């Protein structure tokens, strides 16, 4: 993968919308209040009795004549862990290469994590099997390694059992989970996966294909591959068939959006191609 392509992801700002727990030094805000190098707020001396941090100006102007101390926060070390759903449906496409999009996103996010001085890790799951696992690292070569490794993946399997197993094993703090999937799952499976990831901050990236969602209604015979099982079958394509497929996909998306909403998540829906600027905006607004 060329450096020019990777640099497109530099605009991703790895600043979480909420404070993360933890005490290790890093570049992100932490929940810990007290010692540290970044001013957080002020508090009453009785609540935080540290005479070294008395704020004389605030204390003298306090209407209740209380002693006020300044509180600081430590910086938090973050790991960006990319969880890739590499089930068989990733190879199914009509107007987009969803496997290619996943490859570009994985390498691009690794690049953004490196530039943000965060560790990056990736696990790719196909059905019940771990197809790729790279441990957390700040290596400069990680983005290229990720691109090459994901390029050799052969998506397989179906379901979320493997994803759930890995999700439950991830650390609960100092982590941002980036979940890349086409989400060709039913609501029960998605709810099971998100429950396994909770309470970790999750940023879902939803790979969509407009050709599958809104097929053309030209009369004829087409070979259709089931998005999740990969099985092929011949169908008679008509306007009525196309309308029914469009309606089914629209309903499926609505159901999944409702499940995401239950967990306070709003997935970034990538339809056919990647818009890095939109990704950066979505990350800045994500309810993490």
pLDDT, residue 171, reads: 94
pLDDT band at residue 230 using 50, 70 and 90 as cut-offs: low
Residue 48 has pLDDT above 90, yes or no: no
Q: Given phi > 0 = left and psi -120 to 50 = alpha, else beta, which region is 136? A: beta
Pick from 6-20, 216-230, 272-286 the range whose average pLDDT is largest. Answer: 272-286
Share of the chain above pLDDT 90, in %: 47
Q: What is the pLDDT of residues 169-178, one digit of tens each?
A: 999 988 999 9
Taking the complete model, does pTM exceed 0.85, yes or no?
no
pLDDT, residue 138, reads: 92
Secondary structure of the chain: what % helix, strand, coil (to 5)? 40, 25, 35
The average confidence (pLDDT) of the chain is 81
Residue 229 has pLDDT above 80, yes or no: no
CATH number of 3-12+78-208+260-285, picked from 3.90.70.10, 3.40.1030.10, 3.40.50.410, 3.40.50.20: 3.40.50.410
Lowest mean pLDDT, pick from 125-129, 195-199, 203-207, 220-224:
220-224
pLDDT, residue 233, reads: 63
User: In degrees rounded to 5, what are phi and psi of residue 153?
Assistant: -65, 145
* Domain ranges within the chain, ordered by starting residue: 3-12+78-208+260-285, 28-76
Mean of pLDDT values over 106-123: 89
pLDDT band at residue 163 using 50, 70 and 90 as cut-offs: very high
Peptide bond into 125 cis (omega under 30): no
- The number of C-alpha atoms within 13 Å of 230 and in the hemisphere containing its C-beta is 14
Share of the chain above pLDDT 70, in %: 73
Query: For residue 122, with 0-12 CB atoms within 10 Å meaning exposed, 13-18 middle and 19 or more buried, which class applies?
Result: buried
Residue 114 has pLDDT above 80, yes or no: yes
Residue 16 has pLDDT above 60, yes or no: no
Distance CA 127, CA 185 (A): 12
pLDDT, residue 255, reads: 96
Pick from 17-21, 60-64, 218-222 the range whose average pLDDT is largest. Answer: 60-64
């Amino acid at each position: 993968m060329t450096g020019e392509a990777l640099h497109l992801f530099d605009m991703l700002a790895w600043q979480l919308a909420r404070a993360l727990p933890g005490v290790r030094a890093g570049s992100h805000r932490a929940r810990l209040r007290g010692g540290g190098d970044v001013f957080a707020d002020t508090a009453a001396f009785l609540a935080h009795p540290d005479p070294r941090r008395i704020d004389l100006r605030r204390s003298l102007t306090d209407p209740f004549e209380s002693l006020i101390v300044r509180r600081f926060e430590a910086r938090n070390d973050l790991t960006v862990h990319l969880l890739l759903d590499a089930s068989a449906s990733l190879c199914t496409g009509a107007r987009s290469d969803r496997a290619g999009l996943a490859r570009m996103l994985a390498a691009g996010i690794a690049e953004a994590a490196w530039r943000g001085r965060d560790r990056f890790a990736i696990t790719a799951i196909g059905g019940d099997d771990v197809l790729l696992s790279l441990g957390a690292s700040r290596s400069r070569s990680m983005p290229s390694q990720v691109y090459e490794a994901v390029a050799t993946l052969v998506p397989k399997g179906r379901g979320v059992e493997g994803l759930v197993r890995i999700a439950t094993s991830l650390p609960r703090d100092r982590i941002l989970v980036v979940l890349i999937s086409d989400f060709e799952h039913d609501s029960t499976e998605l709810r099971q996966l998100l429950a396994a990831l909770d309470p970790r901050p999750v940023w879902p990236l939803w790979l969509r294909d407009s050709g599958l969602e809104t097929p053309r209604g030209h009369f004829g015979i087409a070979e259709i591959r089931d998005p999740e099982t990969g099985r092929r079958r011949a169908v008679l394509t008509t306007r009525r068939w196309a309308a029914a497929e469009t309606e089914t996909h629209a309903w499926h998306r609505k159901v999944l959006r409702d499940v995401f909403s239950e967990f306070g998540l709003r997935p970034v829906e990538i339809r056919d191609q990647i818009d890095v600027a939109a990704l950066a905006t979505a990350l800045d607004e994500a309810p993490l």
